[in-house]
């Protein structure tokens, strides 16, 4: 494959791209609450994510960290799964599952290789505390942790993508968003960023295999992060 000129900053989406949110939540639920349909619970919790952020975007809620939104969704979800008896300590601990999501098997090796040539950072709607705890536990070798919290705007607001370029004092084309979500990548391209799609067919679990077909609009398309490192000469 002909090598293309690559940006100097790689910004990574986190949930689904770098870490396996579905598998991690399913694993915890199967251990803590084996009577619950763990797959359905994980999917329902994640399904509340965009509607919750929309309440902030619309002005119904002021700026709110994702930890707080996750807890709001959780509290609404528990009665539907027969878990409304959980106390405050149990709810708080369960909510922190998002801080301890497991990386995909290729993640740490891929990031480590990419870091030898590029500056790598997170670009997630997750808040800084969440992303820091996740990185510490999973060994994610970020050069910098950036979050929507820094820019007080959730992706796909242009302030997030352009904020990365501004942080590192490079033009938008000096940044590449790496993500497993085509809508995220499309929004980044609209801001002038390069884009790399990462195949995560099992993001929503084995019963809900995701279409990972290439989109020619992306700069790169890779099987996983190790493959992306290979493509970029790392």
135 and 224 together in one domain: yes
What's 81's DSSP letter?
G
Beta bridge partners, 144, equal 121
Are 56 and 125 members of one domain?
A: no
Q: Does a structural domain hold residue 3?
A: no
CA atoms in the 13 A half-sphere facing the CB of 229:
19
pLDDT number for residue 5: 44
The C-alpha atoms of residue 231 and residue 222 are separated, in whole angstroms, by: 8
8 A C-beta contact, residue 194 and residue 9: no
Which distant-in-sequence residues (6+ apart) come within 8 Å of 108 by Cβ?
A: 138, 139, 140, 141
Backbone angles phi, psi at 12, to 5 degrees: -110, 125
Determine the pLDDT at residue 1: 35
Confirm if 185 and 195 have CB atoms less than 8 A apart.
Answer: yes
* Domain count of the fold of the chain: 2
Handedness of CA 210, 216, 219, 224 (dihedral sign): positive
Range of the domain at 136: 9-20+101-231
Does residue 106 share a domain with residue 83?
A: no
Other beta carbons less than 10 A from residue 3's beta carbon: 8
- Torsion (CA) 133, 158, 150, 17 in degrees, nearest 10: 10
Q: What's the Cα-to-Cα distance from 170 to each of 155, 173, 182, 232, rounded to whole Å? A: 20, 8, 24, 19
Q: What is the CATH number of the domain that holds 204?
A: 3.40.50.1000
In a shared domain, residues 142 and 40: no
**What sign does the CA torsion over 72, 134, 23, 51 have?**
positive
1 is a domain residue:
no
Q: How does pLDDT run across 90-114, given as a tens digit for each residue?
A: 999 999 999 999 999 999 999 999 9
Collect the ranges in the chain with pLDDT lower than 70.
1-6
Which residue(s) pair with 123 in the sheet?
Answer: 146
């Amino acid at each position: 494959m002909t090598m293309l000129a690559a940006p100097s900053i790689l910004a990574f989406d986190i949930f689904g791209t770098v870490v396996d949110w579905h598998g991690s939540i399913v694993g915890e639920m199967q251990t803590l609450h084996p009577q619950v349909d763990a797959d359905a619970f994980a999917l329902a919790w994640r399904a509340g994510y965009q509607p919750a952020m929309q309440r902030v975007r619309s002005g119904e809620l002021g700026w709110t960290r994702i930890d707080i939104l996750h807890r709001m969704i959780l509290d609404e979800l528990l009665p539907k799964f027969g878990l409304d008896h959980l106390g405050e300590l149990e709810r708080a601990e369960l909510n922190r599952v998002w801080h301890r999501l497991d990386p995909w098997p290729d993640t740490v090796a891929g990031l480590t290789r990419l870091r030898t040539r590029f500056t790598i950072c997170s670009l997630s709607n997750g808040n800084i505390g969440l992303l820091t705890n996740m990185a510490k536990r999973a060994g994610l070798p970020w050069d910098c942790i950036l979050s929507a919290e820094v820019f007080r705007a959730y992706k796909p607001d242009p302030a997030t993508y352009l904020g990365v370029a501004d942080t590192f004092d490079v033009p938008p084309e000096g940044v590449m968003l790496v993500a497993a979500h085509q809508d995220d990548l499309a929004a980044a391209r609209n801001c002038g960023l390069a884009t790399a799609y990462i195949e995560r067919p099992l993001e929503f679990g084995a019963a809900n295999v995701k279409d990972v077909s290439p989109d020619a609009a992306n700069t790169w398309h890779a099987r996983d992060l190790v493959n992306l490192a290979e493509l970029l000469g790392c």
